[in-house]
Chains A and B, each alone.
Chain A
Amino acid sequence: MGNNGHGYFSPLPRVLVSDDFDRGMQGWLDLRPNFVGPDFRQHSDDVDLIHWGPTMLSSATFAFGGTHGSASGNYSLKISSRANAAPADKPPASGSMGLAIKRLSLPGKAKRLRIEALFAYKAEQDRPGLGINAIRALGVFVDLQDAKHRWMPGVRYVNAIAGKPVRRWQFYSKSDVTDAEWSYGLDGWHKTGIDPQWFGERASDGSSVATTWFDDGEQHLIYNESDDKLNWMPLSLTLDIERRAYESFRVGQRTFAFPKDAQPTLAPAYSDIEALLNPVFFVEADTARRVSLYLDSVQISIEEAP
């Protein structure tokens, strides 16, 4: 599998999966809740979890530019929101996000984990002008569990809020709020730290109890100058599995430094998911306009302890 056909990725020694989406969805699908209630209802109603936008294979086809294709091949994974958004200090609105997940498990003595992707992001070209500030945020996190803890390390690029540019990266950090405070006042299925892409009180500047801004986190990614032009950019997040800590994060030509010993919240272990390895990519709308995150490819690799 190596570098997935191009030189953007620099995997750890053991590549677990390498997806380029020219042969199908390759195990990525919409993130949906647990349909274990009466009449197949979802397990949790704290936030509307069943109406996020759908994930699809895209040729990145537009009205004026035609088919963009992907960085290596024709198809990418397109994660889309619906045309809806809540203010930044409110819980996410119905359909305001799109999320794609792949469900794996950690093998052997994994001590380091690396998630790499080649991505681009766009607002729907449904009106004249430039839609860059219709995109609230995008990001990636990993749902991990060992014998003691469930933990969800990840990064979020806050692109714009209320139509104004922000262009800063943050990461999911330790939260000491109660489970009920975490879940907007409802003490339900979500323990503190679980699903930080939805939970944890939010502020109007894009900060939240779930996140910490990188000190040097400002970055102007390539959106390009039109809503139909994509540039594929590499992202690499490396985690220390043994210490349940962040190790490094790179996007494009930049490296962002985590504070020493930075960790996400370590929640208690949930039942029957030990060794879970579920990467999730997501995109968030800032306005009533569909936005999309495109993944040309994703590669997941580990280094094992001797």
Chain B
Amino acid sequence: MKTFATTVVELRQCFEQTVETHPFECGWADEAIVFVEPHNADPGDVVTLRVQLSPDGIRWLDEGTVLRVTEHAMARLTHFGGFLRLAGGATNAEGAATRTTLTVRIALKG
């Protein structure tokens, strides 16, 4: 039987400018789904998040997947090595940078 674990890596976390989720170790898993839930967003707010990988949890590289979050969103991931995080930021209806509050869950299986 495979192992499964969901971590709420960010819970109602307010990001003032840049979003960088906690470096999460997941080398045991073959697949991941990241779920992003925005809270208290104003109409027109968009959160853009890039999936990032890392050899060590310090140095991050874009994996290629980009989430454009206006409501509860997800992305399916495979072949991500030992560490995962999401990085990006939010803009408001006028296109200016704005704060955002997010819950990010990572569902891992392997």
Could you list which residues of chain A lie within 8 angstroms of chain B, going by C-beta atoms? Answer: 23-25, 30, 32, 50-51, 53-59, 61-63, 75, 78, 80, 82, 124-126, 290
Contacts and interface: CB of A to CB of B under 8 A. Distances in A.
A24 B5 contact: yes
Interface residues of B, number: 22
Contact of A59 (B9, B24, B25): B25
A56 B25 contact: yes
A23 B59 CA distance: 28
Given A23-B3, A61-B57, A126-B58, A30 B25 contact: no
A291 B19 CA distance: 20
Contacts of B75: none
A56 B7 contact: yes
Interface centre among B5, B8, B56, B58 (most CB of A within 10 A): B56
A24 B9 contact: no
A63 B85 CA distance: 17
Nearest to B12: A50
26 contacts: A23-B3, A25-B5, A30-B7, A30-B8, A32-B8, A32-B11, A50-B11, A53-B22, A54-B7, A54-B9, A55-B7, A56-B25, A57-B25, A57-B28, A61-B25, A61-B55, A62-B56, A63-B55, A63-B58, A63-B59, A78-B25, A80-B22, A82-B22, A124-B58, A125-B56, A290-B23
A55 B83 CA distance: 13
Contacts of A125: 56, 58
Given A32-B11, A82-B22, 5 more contacts: A24-B5, A51-B13, A53-B22, A56-B26, A59-B27
Contacts of A53: 22
Contacts of B26: 56-57
B25 A58 contact: yes
Contact of B56 (A51, A63, A82): A63
Nearest to A81: B22
A290 B26 CA distance: 18
A55 B6 CA distance: 11
Contacts of B88: none
Contacts of B13: 51
A290 B24 CA distance: 12
A124 B57 contact: yes
Contacts of A24: 3, 5
Q: Is the interface of A mostly helix, strand, loop or mixed?
A: loop
Contacts of A58: 25
A55 B13 CA distance: 16
B24 A54 contact: yes
Query: What are the 5 tightest A-B residue pairs by CB atom distance, in nearest-first order?
Result: A63-B56, A24-B3, A56-B25, A58-B25, A50-B11
A93 to B, nearest CB: 14
Interface string B9-34: 10111000000001111111000000
Contacts of A63: 55-56, 58-59
Contacts of A23: 3
A23 B28 CA distance: 10
A54 B56 contact: no
Contacts of A30: 7-8
A54 B23 CA distance: 9
A75 B22 contact: no
Contacts of B3: 23-24
B31 to A, nearest CB: 15
A157 to B, nearest CB: 23
A61 B27 contact: yes
B5 A61 contact: no
Nearest to A57: B28
Nearest to B26: A56
A201 B87 CA distance: 37
